[in-house]
Structure 1
Amino acid sequence: MARPKSSQHDLRRDEILDIAAQCFADRSYPAASMNDIAAAGGTSKARLYHYYESKEAILFDLLDRYTQRLLAVIGQAEATAQRRDLDDRAALHELVRGFLQEYEHSATRHVALLHDTKFLGDQQRELILDRQRDVVSAVTRFLKRAYPERLTATNQTALTMMLFGMINWTFTWLRPGGPISYAAFAEEVISVLERGLAR
């Protein structure tokens, strides 16, 4: 009979994922070792293996949880729009705010999603890529509902990627405590969507 997991098991896994995400962002996934992750967490490699069988297992759990979280952000924006009876543009604005609120606290996970998915095995990589495609499709739907006269079959991919281009790389330059907050930047993105940069 298997020994039951302690109540701290999932909490400890969350801590390991935080530490690993930082190691992958600092050193790159290929360069970061299980020894590096264990040392950064103040534990032994043997203890780390108690929670994860390999570095790839850590990466997969990290990306699995993060992509599920991004889908949950979309679901929350849809639920908020429905609960508050928002029009389609206001619903898109809620989605932008939701993504940037998430990105403020998950920069290292976002780095892993953008750079390290390719290091997963075929089946796991395809699952993560499918979720990324689901996120892109959902954002396209929000945009098409918000701007039906602007999005066409020809330009919808380009305009969806333009929006992602505005928000997905904030981890490279937007710093908490800097001259603009994530919440303020969300409002700037919304302003550009609504009015462009022209006064």
Structure 2
Amino acid sequence: MARGRSPGYEDQREMILSRAAQLFALRGYTATSMNEVAEACGLSKPTLYHYFRDKYSLLVNIAEGHVSRLEALVDEVAREALAPEPRVRELIHRFVEEYAGAQHAHRVLTEDVRFLDDADRARVLDKERRLVESFAQAIGELRPELAAAAMTKPLTMLLFGMINWMFTWLRPEGGLNHAAMAPVVADLFFGGIPAVRPPGAGADTEAAH
């Protein structure tokens, strides 16, 4: 009879993925060893191999897990049945706030996906394409003429350009955090610079008008 998993198995597994993502993000996937992952986790190598068979398995789980969590956010927002603009705004907010706790995993996804084999990379990229399609569909419903001109995907990619690279400059210890930046990104996307309000000034600004 197969031995069941311990109650803390999933928590331990997520801890390992988090520490591995941090090492991969800071040192690079190829420069990080399983010895270093085990040390960062406070585990022996045999214990680490109980959870993941090799470093490649860590990479697959980090990249695919990050995209899968974003897919889950898209599904949650879809169930709210929002109108197109509020839907895109909510998606932006959810994604930006998700990145606040997933900066290392996101860096691994953007920089190390090239180390995945063809089948694994195709699966991850397919998930990413579905994320783009979800945003593009909402934009198309808001502006049908843009959908007719095949502009919704380019606009989505421009939006993702703002969101996806925030990890390169936005620091948790800085004056702005991800929660403050989410509405700024949404305002900038929908209205350009004239629509951007300083964080925390939205209600006062609207009242003044």
TM-score, L = length of structure 1: 0.92
Is 2:177 the partner of 1:185? no
Is 2:125 the partner of 1:129? yes
- Residues 155-184 of structure 1, C-alpha deviations (whole Å, 9 max, x = no match): 333211110011111111112242222122
Aligned mates of 1:154, 1:186 — CA distance in 2: 26
User: Which residue in the other structure is 1:111 paired with?
Assistant: 107
Aligned mates of 2:14, 2:172 — CA distance in 1: 22
- AA aligned to 2:29 is Y
- Residues 98-137 of structure 1, C-alpha deviations (whole Å, 9 max, x = no match): 1011011100010111111121222211111111111111
- AA aligned to 2:129 is R
User: Which residue in the other structure is 1:149 paired with?
Assistant: 145
Structure 2 unpaired stretches of 5+ = 196-209
- Residues 45-89 of structure 1, C-alpha deviations (whole Å, 9 max, x = no match): 221111111001111112222111010111122223x2xxx3211
User: Which residue in the other structure is 2:193 paired with?
Assistant: 197
- Contact 1:151–1:159 (8 Å) recurs in 2: no
User: Which residue in the other structure is 2:116 paired with?
Assistant: 120
- Contact 1:96–1:190 (8 Å) recurs in 2: yes
- Contact 1:101–1:182 (8 Å) recurs in 2: yes
Aligned mates of 2:175, 2:141 — CA distance in 1: 33
Aligned mates of 1:93, 1:147 — CA distance in 2: 15
Aligned mates of 1:152, 1:22 — CA distance in 2: 42
Note the C-alpha offset of 1:147: 2.6
- Contact 1:21–1:108 (8 Å) recurs in 2: yes
Question: More deviation in 59-68 or 146-155?
Answer: 146-155
User: Which residue in the other structure is 1:23 paired with?
Assistant: 23
Task: Count matched residues.
Answer: 195
- Contact 2:92–2:182 (8 Å) recurs in 1: yes
TM-score, L = length of structure 2: 0.87
Aligned mates of 2:172, 2:90 — CA distance in 1: 20
User: Which residue in the other structure is 1:74 paired with?
Assistant: 74
Identity rate of aligned residues, in percent?
38
- AA aligned to 1:76 is E
- AA aligned to 1:184 is A
Question: RMSD of the TM alignment (CA)?
Answer: 1.5
- AA aligned to 2:44 is S
**Structure 1 outlier segments of 4+, above 3 Å:** 149-154
